Amino acid sequence: MKLVTAEKMREIDKEAINSIGIPAILLMENAGQAVVKTLKEEYFPLKEKSIYIFSGPGNNGGDGMVVARLLFNEGIKVKLFLLGKKEKIKGEADINLNIALNLGMSIKEITSPEEIKKLEEELKVLKVTDIVVDAILGTGAKGAPRGIMKEIVSLINRYSRNIVAVDIPTGVNADTGEVEGEAIKADCTVTFAYPKQGLYLYPCMDYAGKIKVADIGIPHTLKVKTKCNLFTLADIPKDIFKRKLSSHKGDFGHLLVIAGSRGMTGAATLTSLAALRAGAGLVTLGIPESLNTILEVKLTETMTLPLPQTEEGSLSCKALKKIEEFSKKCKAIALGPGISTHQETMELVRMMLKQLTVPLIIDADGINALSGEITLLTEYKAPLILTPHPGELSRLLHISIKDIQKKRINYALNLAKNTGGIVLLKGARTVIADKEGNIWINSTGNPGMATGGSGDVLTGIIGGLLVQGFSALTAAKLGAYLHGAAADLAVQTKGEVSLIAGDILNNIPKTIRRIKSECC
């Protein structure tokens, strides 16, 4: 599903109005009807409820005026509050304002602290309003609401039982999902024509509630030039995971996992098992030689490759030759989970990037080893997938985690363009970027995934997909979706608080079955 920025949506609206000839007033009418439809679906029956509609001075406010009029015409109790002077409303919003006035609707202007105080007293008497429609600021607004709008946002959040946002909650950045001050905490957001990309990023997702995308009559024949997408089940090919009856393990690839160090055998275990659960035909785990015995006990289906180690029990630079020779048997390598930040181990990672020619997934300490060495990534001779979480990306780029979280799309995109690899920036929501400037936001996952080992499972899934012949980009996108979907299944029985990485791993088979049954 395509996602758009506020600017891109303005371009689409403009083309629909100027090139196709669809009147702007019709688009506004359709938007209002879409909101009313949602209100009826979510809060039936409306006639038993009081509905307060807050409209700003722009087109978003005009949408709210349409909602108010349509509800009023059906005899539903509705109050319309205008955050500004009637005479200052322009364009299509002014047309709808005049229609409402001609119908005899009560419209209260709120332009002063005294009027805000009166509204608060009214809300206090009600204690809680049944439904509030937020049509204060639209997608073009930047920064925190100020003045009267700031006060109204605070009142709405305090006294409303159910809040429906028009296009995007007031106070949220439509492009980045940022919330700089107080913003409307909606239970449902009705967004028009195409969803805005900020709606699918945090913290906006904590404010948007249920997201509904409404058709308002913009023709689908219009070419939407956007490189940002939401990756959903509908994007998965129908023949995914299909196997011939004559298949054998060699058909599904051999993955070499380079993982683990003293005290970090769990990371190596989770990565290896996840690769097998994702369908890899063979998995060999390369680990420090002193860990071989314990991992042969922990892992029945995975082969092991004992490698030279440091005195501290991490991988030594002497392991390079053995890794290089063994890699010739493999279709891909997954590097990094639990390998530690021992100086010699980090040097081994850098040496591997100079020597290997096999598709490579780099995660965790593998990424930490490359801080200040990004040029090694640009020179790698085979497909490359980087799977950092914000902390690892912060260390790699020497940028604060706070800055990365504010602009997750931008930083993922820049790293992909600068390295030529596929970048999968983990977190809520996971962002996947390629060097051509395309972005996918993964649609699955939940807060329970914030647990040790979750990223190791993801690395294994991607590696397992990569060796089966999927491209690096497809493996990253599908891997993120499968990982999140398995966690979504697991959380149904374990809950978010008690979810552990093993629960995600154990739900991979059931998730694959579901994907196959729903796609095919």
Q: What is the pLDDT of residues 449-477, one digit of tens each?
A: 999 999 999 999 999 999 999 999 999 99
Q: Which helix (H) or strand (E) holds 156?
A: helix 147-159
Query: What is the pLDDT, as a whole number, of residue 300?
Result: 95
Query: What is the pLDDT, as a whole number, of residue 418?
Result: 95
Q: Report the C-alpha gap between 307 and 300 in whole angstroms.
A: 19
Q: Report the C-alpha gap between 435 and 418 in whole angstroms.
A: 7
Domains of the chain as residue ranges with CATH: 23-220 (3.40.50.10260), 248-519 (3.40.1190.20)
Per-residue pLDDT of the chain (520 residues; tens, 9 = 90+): 899 999 999 999 999 999 999 999 999 999 999 999 999 999 999 988 889 999 999 999 999 999 999 999 999 999 999 999 999 999 999 999 999 999 999 899 999 999 999 999 888 877 667 899 999 999 988 888 999 999 999 999 999 889 999 999 999 999 999 998 999 999 999 999 999 999 999 999 999 999 999 999 999 888 788 999 999 999 998 888 888 898 888 889 999 999 999 999 999 999 999 999 999 999 999 999 999 999 999 999 999 999 999 999 999 999 999 999 999 999 999 999 999 999 999 999 999 999 999 999 999 999 999 998 999 999 999 999 999 999 999 999 999 999 999 899 999 999 999 999 999 999 989 999 999 999 999 999 999 999 999 999 999 999 999 999 999 999 999 999 999 999 999 999 999 999 999 999 999 999 999 998 886 5
List all residues 6 or more positions away from 11 whose beta carbon is below 8 Å from its beta carbon.
none
Strands 431-433 and 439-442: antiparallel
Query: What is the pLDDT, as a whole number, of residue 242?
Result: 85
Query: What is the pLDDT, as a whole number, of residue 123?
Result: 85
* Strand, coil or helix: 418: helix
Query: What is the pLDDT, as a whole number, of residue 336?
Result: 98
Query: What is the pLDDT, as a whole number, of residue 188?
Result: 97
Query: What is the pLDDT, as a whole number, of residue 520?
Result: 58
- Are 8 and 223 in contact by the 8 Å Cβ rule? The answer is no
Q: Which helix (H) or strand (E) holds 191?
A: strand 188-192
Q: Report the C-alpha gap between 511 and 518 in whole angstroms.
A: 11
- Short-list 92, 42, 94, 38, CA closest to 70: 38
Query: What is the pLDDT, as a whole number, of residue 97?
Result: 96
Instruction: Give the strands of the sheet with 51-55, arranged side by side.
Output: 107-109, 78-82, 51-55, 129-135, 160-166, 188-192, 210-214
Strands 2-3 and 228-231: antiparallel
Query: What is the pLDDT, as a whole number, of residue 314?
Result: 98
Distances (CA, A) of 349 to 14, 296, 322, 335, 455: 51, 24, 14, 8, 19
* Strand, coil or helix: 271: helix
Query: What is the pLDDT, as a whole number, of residue 183?
Result: 96
